[in-house]
Structure 1
Amino acid sequence: MEITLVPLLLPEIQRQFDLSVGNLAWVFNAYGLAVAVGVLLGGLCGDLFNTRKIFGYGVVFFAAGSLVVAAAESFEVLIIGRALQGFGGGIFSPLVPLLLTRASPEKPGRMLIVWGSIAGYVAAFAPLFYGGFLGEHGWNLAFVLTAIIAFFAFVILNRTQTADELAPDSNRKANYLTLFQARDLWVTFVYVFCTYGSITYYLFRLPVWLSSNEVTAASVGLVLSIVWLTFSGFSTLLRNMVDKPHVRMIMLAAPFLIAAGFPLSYFNENLFLLVLSSFLVGSGLACSNAPSTQLILRFAPKGMSAISTSLDITFARLGGIATVAILAETEFAYATPAIFLACMIAACCALVACRGLANGP
């Protein structure tokens, strides 16, 4: 919901606080910056302490930040709330794939992609729900709803008990040195940086472009929903392929799909091309999401799974932050070749990382 609702709300937030596009980018990026910090803490603590408790702390920060954003009456308070949200989301985010793959060690890729599919369907219908039912009540209500859902997540968390206490690793220093020496792992991080940077910029800029052409919030929500419905649909189709050699082809397809879909968003008055653009970008997201996480868990040194998934999210967020910050006020004619270059770098990284997978044990 965070990923899909906030881009939909940006034009309304911009009007209420009278923000420039540059300031609006900080509303978007404050969350990502805080996530980049929180995931490192969450990953480190997830390897050292009780995973469930650390997850719960993250949910509490996220809910508190959502309420601060909902009550914000100034740009500064809005940024503080977004940072609290991001810090909490950063703490619990890296622990989700770790817990899921522990639950299904024989088919980790399938489990990750099923999780991604479910999350994608929620992400797809959230803006439709807001645009159709809540849009008339103001953007603040969306953050209140997010806080309520986080509260229920916390209740569910505390009603389900599992033995997931992890013992400290006596070879922690050696493991960290091994982490920095894992070449294929860092190549995959660069892949994540480039693909997620391109997708994040698309999700940030498209609603602003559409609203400038007086497109309604409900219509913008529909376009964003197509991205996530496509992501979920493709993820469902790929669920039986990600644990097989097809992962190389899937990862390589992602940057080409994104590069093909981004230029079509320029023709935002043509409904067919706009839908096709959303379809291609959503497909690219599906092809990059679970496979890259699967490779990162595969390349992670022993005992370093949580910190590796933390770095995965950090690179994804930093990619989005850097791309949005650099291209926020850039004309479309200059943004397009920049996105194309990022996608080509990602394609090269996919080839190198998958070669490392083929040469692995």
Structure 2
Amino acid sequence: MDIRLSTARGRWVILTTVLGSSMALLDSTVVNVALPRIGDDLHAELSSLQWITNAYTVTLAGLILLGGSLGDRYGRRRVFVIGVVWFAFGSLLCGLAPSTGVLIFARALQGIGGALLTPGSLAIIQAGFHPDDRSRAVGMWSGLGGIGSAIGPFVGGWLVDGPGWRWVFLINLPLAALCVPVALRHVPETRDPRHHGRFDMGGALLCAFALALLAYSLIAQNPWAGALGVAGAVSFVLVEKRRSDPMLPLSIFSSRLFSMVNIVTLCVYAALGGFFFLGTLQLQVVAGYSPLAAGTALLPTTVLLLLFSARSGQLADRIGPRAPLTVGPLLCAGGLLLMLRVGRHASYPTDVLPALLVLGAGLVTLIAPLTSTVLSSVETARAGLASGVNNAAARAAGLIAVAALPFLTGMGPEAYHSATAFDRSFNKAMPICAGVLIVGAFIAFLTVRRPAPSGPAPVRAESEHRMSCGLTAPPLEHVTTDTPPERRRT
């Protein structure tokens, strides 16, 4: 396909892909702002709030690699549109949910929709635009998506304070109503003609099953579920090892650099997942912020990412990934430790803002080099897979953190109704998250080096990709063997 960015069709394609990806991105972040109100309205215990967050992540992380394969095989536009409609249906059910059980089920449905539409949004641009316009189109997609990510918590807080928490989900309906007809009219259908073989549905379901059981074992403090979750994870590895066309080819981990960077990813996004789940609750339950104020309080972090991630990526290209992947987690750890100052009647300028600025500086230092190193650690043909694995690993790490931290810090079922009890647990959780980040920095310092130039040409992530605000997972790249020459290292 040769869509030009200067044409009306090109602008429509950008619009619909940004709208689709933004729906899934926002629901990974803005729901945290609404959790206290949801809990009060539905009389939910803390474990239910954990599942409202994790049900979405379980299905998204478990199926996102499968979603990309479905698009390549059956048509990227088709799978993208199905994902948007599915996501909208899940959002409607979330908005109408009469109980926490229904809401949790609906959130799992949303995750399935997100797994279908998220890989397709960028794949449509990669496959549809003229090679001369592709980098600019990706830059627009990434930049506009970054802006949406930056304002997401603010919009979520405004909706919760205004029409109510249900509109955090219902706002997706008009977005989907615009996205679907535009996609059907203006987005060309593309497939990968080389895609063949059966789909690894069994592997995808085993992955989601293992993640769900591990999360349940931590939330419900049920060791038998944990044992079943571990067994499911082992079974997933065995299934993937024996299949001729696995969802996750284990040979990709033969790259030591790829394996080590994914361990760093697990550390970083486990800490971030725990912070963004507990941090928004801390601001509301303990510091007394309204949902709007809590959402607005988080803006500096995403604004810093939006403004400086591309420059950070360029710096990492010059000096190598080791220093950024070491310094970035240490800065993030410092930001989380500064959050210990956020207690009752916390002052935003002196207590909250300094912590978020240090955290934001760490994320700016870290996220672009992380994405670039993941892509550069494998051959070009496997870059899309590598990015998907890295994205799924990050989401799984956040899921486990949200499940584990309340258990590790002794939070009771009603802890979020007591400022004293929640503050006590939060002050235990932030050092744990900081410690995990320090472990990640130590691993990066010992193991991460600049990718060797020899062997099959690795992928270099262009700066346009690095503008994404990776608060819940690294930016998801879709790179194929027909990647244009300007995306290849020479």
1:196 aligns with 2:269: yes
1:36 to 36, 58, 61: 61
Q: Shift in Å at residue 59 of structure 1?
A: 2.0
Structure 2 counterparts to residues 277-292 of structure 1, below 5 A: 277-292=355-370
CA contact (8 A) 2:86 2:109 kept: yes
Q: 1:133 to 1:16 in 2, by over 3 A?
A: closer
Alignment partner, residue 339 of structure 2: 265
Distance 2:86 2:277 in 1: 24
Alignment partner, residue 343 of structure 1: 437
CA contact (8 A) 1:110 1:239 kept: no
Alignment partner, residue 296 of structure 2: 222
1:183 to 252, 256, 259: 256
Q: Among the aligned pairs, what percent are the same residue?
A: 25
1:327 aligns with 2:405: yes
2:353 to 257, 269, 275: 275
Counterpart of 1:15 in structure 2: which amino acid?
A: D
1:63 aligns with 2:137: no
Counterpart of 2:364 in structure 1: which amino acid?
A: A
Query: Please, which moves more after superposition, 61-70 or 333-342?
Result: 333-342
CA contact (8 A) 1:113 1:235 kept: no
Q: Shift in Å at residue 332 of structure 1?
A: 3.3
Query: Please, which moves more after superposition, 55-64 or 126-135?
Result: 126-135
Counterpart of 2:147 in structure 1: which amino acid?
A: Y
CA contact (8 A) 1:117 1:231 kept: no
Q: Structure 1 unaligned runs (5+)? A: none
Counterpart of 2:375 in structure 1: which amino acid?
A: L
Q: Any idea what SS the aligned residue of 2:289 has?
A: coil
Q: Any idea what SS the aligned residue of 1:218 has?
A: helix
Q: Deviations over 1:118-154 (max 9, x none)?
A: 3332122233234346622111112111232233233
Distance 1:22 1:133 in 2: 24
Counterpart of 1:34 in structure 2: which amino acid?
A: T
Alignment partner, residue 45 of structure 1: 70
Distance 2:165 2:440 in 1: 35
Larger-Rg structure: 2
Distance 1:95 1:248 in 2: 31
CA contact (8 A) 2:58 2:108 kept: yes
Alignment partner, residue 145 of structure 1: 171
Counterpart of 2:28 in structure 1: which amino acid?
A: I
Structure with the larger helix share: 1
Q: Deviations over 1:213-251 (max 9, x none)?
A: 322112101112222222212225436445544544333
Please report the TM-score for the alignment, with normalisation by the length of structure 2: 0.65
Counterpart of 1:217 in structure 2: which amino acid?
A: P
Q: Structure 2 unaligned runs (5+)? A: 1-25, 198-243, 410-424, 456-490
Counterpart of 1:61 in structure 2: which amino acid?
A: W
Alignment partner, residue 150 of structure 2: 124
Please report the TM-score for the alignment, with normalisation by the length of structure 1: 0.87
Distance 1:201 1:105 in 2: 40
Cα RMSD after superposing both structures? 3.2
Counterpart of 2:268 in structure 1: which amino acid?
A: T
2:323 to 231, 249, 258: 249
